[in-house]
Amino acid sequence: MKLVMVLMLVALPLYCYAGSGCSVLGKAVEDGINTNVSMAEYILSLQEFIDDEDTANAIGELKQCFLSQSNETLDNFRVMMVILAFSDMF
């Protein structure tokens, strides 16, 4: 299960690096840390990347990890993602 989660987290940035999915990755990250997006909505938004039940469970666990964090931690994670996104530009 953890391997599926790691592979998913690796696959999305590679998809973005290929030039066709930066908006998909950004939406996946933002929906993941947005506490107003339910787990079902999150899984539905990533449906095109889900091949089996294990992958769906891994995505659900990933969303649950974010749901259990404080707002301060989620805000810090947002800042970190912005820094990572723009670090290649400098």
Position 10 scores a pLDDT of: 62
CA 79-22-43 angle, 5° bins: 85
Distance CA 21, CA 49 (A): 12
**What residues make up the domain containing 50?**
2-89
* C-alpha separations of 55 from 12, 37, 51, 61, 86 in Å: 13, 19, 7, 10, 29
Task: Using the structure block, give the residue that is written with the tokens 């993941």.
Answer: 32
- pTM greater than 0.85 (yes/no): no
Distance CA 45, CA 57 (A): 14
Position 72 scores a pLDDT of: 94
In which element (H, E) is residue 84 found? helix 71-86
Region 59-68 average pLDDT: 91
